[in-house]
Chain A
């Protein structure tokens, strides 16, 4: 199967999974109320996040134009059969490139002043290789969402598994898991990340896995502590007195009572991970096409005179907007799901 078809399938599967999760959460009154409250409290942040997600999804659905589409003048056959995403299609083909820098909406090149191929069409200018900055910025959304979303999907199950098992069973099991947690936590995170990426390779998935493997420790600790508390609660004792097995107690009584933590952690980890990727990019081991990579490339341009700012500003604002929206949502989610405020509203 063509790789782009596979990635399309993954996107569809993710959307389906998300939809199913939302539907099942919608059945529970608690979650429905929480969702409604979130929309009421943070409509703008939610809209911004949805816009990012929409861009990322549009960029993830790619298809090949039919060969009957007619060859563009100068377009070679290879580029015709390249799958292009919905975002790619908002822009003209590769021929959209200029020779080098141009300022936003400029008519002429920044250096030298030669006329551009597409004067006044580059909303955010072009970079050193003449690539459209707006295009790159939009493409960065997908990378950021991948880093944040995919990695959290690695972090949360790992942390839940280890945290709940350690907290619930205690004793020897707890010792072993807590030793692992402490060992991982005692290593400088960045160093471990760099080492892992060197071992695993530099692809986007590899970077996500590396971030995930180093990132679950903190949440696992929280989960362990919370499980230690939950396991001594009366309803867990009551379930045991009624003959429930350990597996049932964990799945029915412990994990559901950790869900508010999971949601909060998901949101807060997400923004942290996107920022971590930017740092990695700055060190030269990030993912190609990320905002971090754009910022890294724009580093030297700041020292030029006259200054070339559009590159850096676009990527930084895109990053800033996403992180701010997610953090604002995270705060709201934490307030809404905090058991104390939950009880007040009940």
Chain B
């Protein structure tokens, strides 16, 4: 395994995907509720960015917003999604379809249901190839075979004619990855790619993703709640809480020296880090549902270090190093900068 050694800066020349101020909302009882609220993300070529957070924090919706696949009645209200210099939000639908799968693709959490049960997997991969390239069916079949080999499917020639129910979960996820890679996209969004798989298969799929990234230079946006997976695969980490980013940094920054109280709490509650015989620490309280998010810092009601401005003022970003940013008043005070930030609530 070879992770790219050079910790590239956020605004490097090789940026492939640049998301700015993304806001996606759903209609609530009184007003629209921004479930993704002003998220900024940047990924460079060959880099893996992990988007981490609890269920319901908006990480999957962020991914769907990037592809403009937000389910109705959701709506993207604001922001830009630049992929290779083009703003996906401004593209007409026909154009957007050519981008999806071709320049950016996505694999889903549940390989069991992500394949059409009545079509052989080979045909589905061939279809993914021919969606974006005019190739003969014979050539497409050869390409599908090569893709199957690449994603490590044993006996690929006979597997092409198998139906999804004849394959195991891990195999299906490999097929999904083959389909997602069919047109060699520059960005691959992986939404909890291993959550539905057992641990040994998880490892294999992570190895495969790493191989894909290193071999093809595909940038990966990895959505997960599992910090173990983050540790294995990610170069950089973005932590989300209640629709907002709370901390972004290099993997080592986030995993070894987290600054935001939420990130610290997440790490403390990991079983692997706890010492044997000690009680596992947890973050008190639960994530409030969208629409009941507090004003000011959204984590403040559960935060042990909350102080005066936290419940009133949105924390602005505090840059800790070139690549490490936290949105927290407490961190800002430690750093000696004034409680700068967003609009007073």
Do the two shown chains form a genuine complex with each other? yes
* A interface residues (Cβ-Cβ under 8 A, vs B): 29-30, 170, 233-235, 237-245, 248, 252-253, 256-257, 259, 343, 346
Task: Verify if B98 is at the interface (C-beta below 8 Å from A).
Answer: yes
B165 x A256 contact (CB < 8 A): no
Supply 11 further A-B pairs (C-beta < 8 A) apart from A235-B117, A253-B116: A234-B114, A235-B113, A237-B114, A238-B106, A238-B179, A241-B69, A241-B100, A242-B179, A243-B101, A244-B127, A346-B166
Contacting residues, chain A, for B110 (C-beta < 8 A): 234
B116 x A243 contact (CB < 8 A): no
Query: Number of B residues contacting the other chain (C-beta, 8 Å)?
Result: 32
A94 to B132, CA, bound (A): 67
A234 to B111, CA, bound (A): 9
Task: Verify if B105 is at the interface (C-beta below 8 Å from A).
Answer: yes
B101 x A241 contact (CB < 8 A): yes
Summarize A's interface: helix, strand, loop or mixed.
Answer: helix
Task: Verify if B176 is at the interface (C-beta below 8 Å from A).
Answer: yes
B114 x A243 contact (CB < 8 A): no
A148 to B165, CA, bound (A): 35
Contacting residues, chain A, for B227 (C-beta < 8 A): none
Contacting residues, chain B, for A256 (C-beta < 8 A): 116, 118-119
Task: Verify if B180 is at the interface (C-beta below 8 Å from A).
Answer: yes
Task: Verify if B97 is at the interface (C-beta below 8 Å from A).
Answer: yes
Contacting residues, chain B, for A259 (C-beta < 8 A): 118
Q: A235-B113, A243-B102 are in contact. Are A257 and B118 (CB under 8 A)?
A: yes
A245 x B97 contact (CB < 8 A): yes
The list of the 6 closest CB pairs from A to B, nearest first, reads: A242-B101, A243-B101, A243-B100, A241-B106, A234-B114, A234-B113
Q: What is the CB-to-nearest-CB distance from B166 to chain A, in angstroms, rounded to a whole number?
A: 7
Q: What is the CB-to-nearest-CB distance from B124 to chain A, in angstroms, rounded to a whole number?
A: 8
A233 to B164, CA, bound (A): 15
A252 x B119 contact (CB < 8 A): yes
**Other-chain residue from A233, A241, A343 in contact with B67 (beta carbon distance below 8 A):** A241
A242 x B180 contact (CB < 8 A): yes
What are 20 pairs between A and B in contact, CB < 8 Å? A234-B114, A237-B69, A237-B108, A237-B114, A238-B106, A238-B107, A238-B176, A239-B116, A241-B69, A241-B106, A242-B101, A243-B102, A243-B131, A244-B97, A248-B131, A252-B119, A253-B116, A256-B119, A257-B116, A346-B163
Task: Verify if B229 is at the interface (C-beta below 8 Å from A).
Answer: no
Q: What is the CB-to-nearest-CB distance from A341 to chain B, in angstroms, rounded to a whole number?
A: 13
A240 x B69 contact (CB < 8 A): yes
A238 to B67, CA, bound (A): 11
B100 x A346 contact (CB < 8 A): no
Contacting residues, chain A, for B108 (C-beta < 8 A): 234, 237-238, 241
Contacting residues, chain B, for A252 (C-beta < 8 A): 116, 119, 127
A190 to B98, CA, bound (A): 51
Task: Verify if B157 is at the interface (C-beta below 8 Å from A).
Answer: no
Task: Verify if B239 is at the interface (C-beta below 8 Å from A).
Answer: no
A252 to B131, CA, bound (A): 12
Contacting residues, chain A, for B113 (C-beta < 8 A): 233-235
Task: Verify if B115 is at the interface (C-beta below 8 Å from A).
Answer: yes
B165 x A242 contact (CB < 8 A): no
**Other-chain residue from B72, B105, B163, B166 in contact with A242 (beta carbon distance below 8 A):** B105
Contacting residues, chain A, for B72 (C-beta < 8 A): 170
Contacting residues, chain B, for A30 (C-beta < 8 A): 118, 163
Per-residue A-contact encoding for B61-98, CB less than 8 Å = 1, 0 else? 00000010100100000000000000000000000011
Contacting residues, chain A, for B176 (C-beta < 8 A): 238
Contacting residues, chain A, for B131 (C-beta < 8 A): 242-244, 248
Q: What is the CB-to-nearest-CB distance from B15 to chain A, in angstroms, rounded to a whole number?
A: 22
Q: Of all chain B residues, which has the CB nearest A239?
A: B116
Task: Verify if B330 is at the interface (C-beta below 8 Å from A).
Answer: no
